Amino acid sequence: MTGLCAGRVVVVTGAGRGLGRAHALAFAAEGARVVVNDLGVGLDGAGGGSGPAREVVEAIVAAGGEAVAHGGDIATSEGAASLVAAAVDTYGGLDTLVNNAGFLRDRMLVNLGEDDWDAVMRVHLKGHFLPLRHAAAYWRAEAKAGRGRRARVVNTSSGAGLLGSVGQGNYAAAKAGIVGLTLVAAAEMGRYGVQANAIAPAARTRMTESAFAETMAAPDSGFDAMAPENVSPLVVWLGSDASEGVTGRVFEAEGGRITVMEGWRPGPTDDTGTRRTPASAGATALKLLAESEPPRPVYGTH
């Protein structure tokens, strides 16, 4: 490895399995000291235990790296504050926050209960906001004290948040909210040396194993396009000094493919300079739609 993150202190949430585990190991391989956060819960957020986080720490230490486990609930203010404190108290600071923790409660909208909505919003959206809020407060204080850091935030959205996904109204809404949160963080925190970006990864994890079960290594190359380790190199680069100047962007990452997502941009427009009638507004809307690019299909509709 190149030591791209040598000396940096990195926090990864949901790092006991899947993408988070791959990210934590990849950062450690590049010289970072890693705080491995994980509650050890099931796919639906139930249960819990320290085993997954501890196992990742042991793997990092066995490979010659430095890591510490954190078992706090980052969707609570106390847990998020203790996460930042774990980095500062153990390693003397915090340079990179990777928000990755999450689980699923998939239902069609007519069957989606309020508890399932709240649980997914809590772990994904609130679980991004609270660690970011406490890390941002730390970085602002450091900057005001003349100890500014080249801080990095990498948030985890999803194609479901960019395009929508049938049966995942709660998850898609939360992941779309993460994109908005990332853009605001990039705009507000840049003055303190913080860069914030988001990824929309596609990989085989507990959350996606049914969708990608048949997508295995290509027989001729041995390359497993859906392995979570394929996403981590981009995350490590975004979390390093090498990404200087890159902020407020969203990237799709899958296999060997990286795509810069361009988001909402103004398309065809028409301005009469006066109030319209409903009929004229509809006629104009149809005209503009005919001139515009059609939307990409929602996941699960094709």
Q: Let me know if domain 9-261 sits in CATH 3.60.40.10.
A: no
Which value, in Å, is the radius of gyration of the alpha carbons in the chain?
21
Q: Could you confirm whether 126 is annotated as catalytic?
A: no
Q: Could you confirm whether 175 is annotated as catalytic?
A: yes
Burial letters 85-107, b for 16+ CB under 10 A, else e? bbbeeebebbbbbbbbbbbbbbb
Q: Which of 158, 165, 232, 243 is catalytic?
A: 158
Residue bearing tokens 């066995």: 62
pLDDT at residue 46 in the model? 55
Dist. CA 279–CA 276, nearest whole Å: 8
Please indicate, yes or no, whether the overall pTM of this predicted structure exceeds 0.95. Answer: no
Q: Which of 165, 171, 240, 243 is catalytic?
A: 171
Q: Which of 82, 175, 243, 299 is catalytic?
A: 175
- Residue 201 near residue 254 (C-beta atoms within 8 A): yes
Q: What is the pLDDT along the chain (302 residues), one digit of tens a residue?
A: 789 999 999 999 999 999 999 999 999 999 999 999 999 755 544 545 568 999 999 999 999 999 999 999 999 999 999 999 999 999 999 999 999 999 889 899 999 999 999 999 999 999 999 999 999 999 999 999 999 999 999 999 999 999 999 999 999 999 999 999 999 999 999 999 999 999 999 988 655 444 444 444 445 567 899 999 999 999 999 999 999 999 999 999 999 999 999 989 999 999 999 999 999 999 999 999 999 999 999 998 86
In sequence order, which residues have a C-beta less than 8 Å from that of residue 10 and are 6 or more positions away? 24, 27, 32, 33, 34, 35, 95, 96, 97, 98, 239
Q: What are phi and psi of 107, to 5 degrees?
A: -155, 150
Dist. CA 108–CA 165, nearest whole Å: 10
Domains of the chain, by residue range, sit at: 9-261
Residue 219: half-sphere exposure toward Cβ, Cα within 13 Å? 1
pLDDT in tens, 33-67: 999 999 975 554 454 556 899 999 999 999 999 99
Locate 162 and state its tokens: 């960019």
Which CA distances in Å does 216 have to 19, 55, 80?
A: 17, 25, 36
- Residue 123 near residue 131 (C-beta atoms within 8 A): no
Q: Could you confirm whether 287 is annotated as catalytic?
A: no
pLDDT at residue 221 in the model? 66
pLDDT in tens, 106-153: 899 999 999 999 999 999 999 999 999 999 999 999 999 999 999 999
